[in-house]
Chain A
C-alpha cells in the first residue's frame, strides 16, 4: 500500500482533458513539493512536473500540476494516444525521512 494515494486507472478520449489526483498527509504533500513522473511502457520514468507546478525543459505545456493542502493534481489537456502511460506522484516525507511515491495511475487514451 502506497503512502500517496492515486486512482489506479483513468481513461479519456483524444483531444480531451484529464486530471489525476494524488492524496497525501501533512508529513509529505502538506510539507514538501510534489513531483510527477510519466512512465511509458518498457521505459524509465521521466520527470514531468517538479516543485508542484514547474515543467522541466522539453515537457509540453499540455501538462500542468497543482497542489492544495495535502493533495495534488496533474492535468493533461489535448490528450494524444502517445500520452498512454503510467503516471506517478512523489514527495519527500519528513516523518519517514524518505521519498514516497503514489501507486501510479494508468492512463488510457481511448
Chain B
C-alpha cells in the first residue's frame, strides 16, 4: 500500500518555528518529487513547496519563501517542511503529496498520492 503520513503539527505562537515530517511507504521514494500543499480553514488549496526526487531542486510559494525550507532524507523515505517566523495566516492543514512523474524536475502531471494532513495553528 502506498502511504504518506504527516506528523509534527500543533499549536505554535507567532514568530516561532515548527517542523513537519512526512513518512512515505509502499513506493520507491527517491524516484518522486514531493510537494507540500496547505489548506486554511474553510479555504481552498494553496501550494507551498516542492523538492525534486534527489533534493537538488526546490521551489517555494512567494508567501513562504525565505521562511520555510523543504528537505528530504531518501534513506529514511521522509520529506520535511521546516517552518520559521510563523504567522497567523500560516494556520492550515498541511498535506504532503507525491508528484506523479518519475525522476523528473518537470512538475506538471499531478500529485497522485496525498497524506491525511497535519494541522498547524499559529496563535498566541
Chains A and B belong together in one complex? yes
The answer to whether the Cβ of A17 comes within 8 Å of any Cβ in the partner chain is: no
Closest to B99 in A: A99
Say whether A99 contacts B107, CB under 8 Å: yes
Instruction: Pick from A35, A49, A98: contact of B59, CB below 8 A.
Output: A98
Say whether A101 contacts B59, CB under 8 Å: no
Say whether A99 contacts B47, CB under 8 Å: yes
**Which bucket holds chain B's interface residue count?**
20 to 34
Say whether B114 contacts A46, CB under 8 Å: yes
Bound form: Cα–Cα A4–B115 in Å: 24
Interface residues of B in 74-124 (CB under 8 A from A): 95, 97, 100, 106-112, 114-117
Q: Mark B34-53, 1 if CB is under 8 A from A, else 0.
A: 01010000001111001000
Q: Mark B11-31, 1 if CB is under 8 A from A, else 0.
A: 000000000000000000000
Bound form: Cα–Cα A101–B40 in Å: 14
A63, chain B: closest CB distance, angstroms: 13
Say whether A37 contacts B47, CB under 8 Å: no
Closest to A100 in B: B47
Closest to A36 in B: B110
The answer to whether the Cβ of A91 comes within 8 Å of any Cβ in the partner chain is: yes
The answer to whether the Cβ of A70 comes within 8 Å of any Cβ in the partner chain is: no
Q: Pick 10 A–B contacts, CB within 8 A, sort by A.
A: A35-B108, A44-B115, A45-B95, A47-B112, A51-B110, A56-B110, A56-B112, A88-B45, A98-B61, A99-B47
Chain A interface residues (CB < 8 Å from chain B): 2, 32-33, 35, 37, 39, 44-47, 49-51, 56, 86, 88, 90-92, 96-104
Chain B interface residues (CB < 8 Å from chain A): 35, 37, 44-47, 50, 59-62, 95, 97, 100, 106-112, 114-117
